[in-house]
Amino acid sequence: MTQWDMNNDIERVLYSEAEIAAAAKRVGEELAADYEGRTPMILSVLKGAVLWTVDVMRHMQYSDVEFIDVSSYHGGIASSGEVELNIDLQTDIEGRDIIIMEDIVDTGRSLKFMIELLESRGAASVKVASLLDKKEGRVVEANVDYVGFDVPKAFVVGYGLDYKQLYRNLPYVGVLKREVYDTAHADLVDTADITSEH
């Protein structure tokens, strides 16, 4: 490991590459069983959920894929509270079963926005499969139906999750060192909540 190495910016690894692969297999197999005989539409939330989407889909049967991009963080570590639709899906979803693939559900604002959007367009059903569920961060009601991991109060990056568009390509999910991000927001995370196991 050289000084010019992203791994140096990580305080600790929360979920290893192997653990993530096992979670993707578990969630994919659950989805395959629950949607047997149907062809759901996988709605991958850009950019963070792309890796999770691909790895989960490997364990599913018939499905097609669409993409959507919404944002409430705008590159920082704290939600702005305002959700913007940056890229809309291009397919008619009326009567379709939709599975939203998220990298992380935190405040729930973005997820609530997407669910309401899909329901208004006539989706038959909307379910959510998220790599990470940060329940402590909720400010609106938002339910995750399929969860990879329940994540503690910490600012995490890797495996699709970013800070200022960096760290997405790390093969694991880890806690970003406090000195890497704006110290004015350091009170938003508490790495003491993280167990020694992760």
Structure pTM?
0.85
DSSP string computed for the chain: --SS-GGGGEEEEEE-HHHHHHHHHHHHHHHHHHTTT--PEEEEETTTTHHHHHHHHTT--S-EEEEEEEESSTTSSS--S--EEEE---S--TT-EEEEEEEEESSSHHHHHHHHHHHHTT-SEEEEEEEEE-GGG-SS----SEEEEE--SS-EEBTTB-BTTBSTT-SSEEEEPGGGS-GGGGGG--GGGS-TT-
Active site residues: 106
Give residue-wise pLDDT tens across range 15-71: 999 999 999 999 999 999 999 999 999 999 999 999 999 999 999 999 999 999 998
Topology (CATH) of 18-151: Rossmann fold (3.40.50)
Give residue-wise pLDDT tens across range 180-189: 876 554 444 4
Kindly list the domain boundaries of the chain, sorted by start residue. Answer: 18-151
Q: By percentage, how much of the chain surpasses pLDDT 70?
A: 85
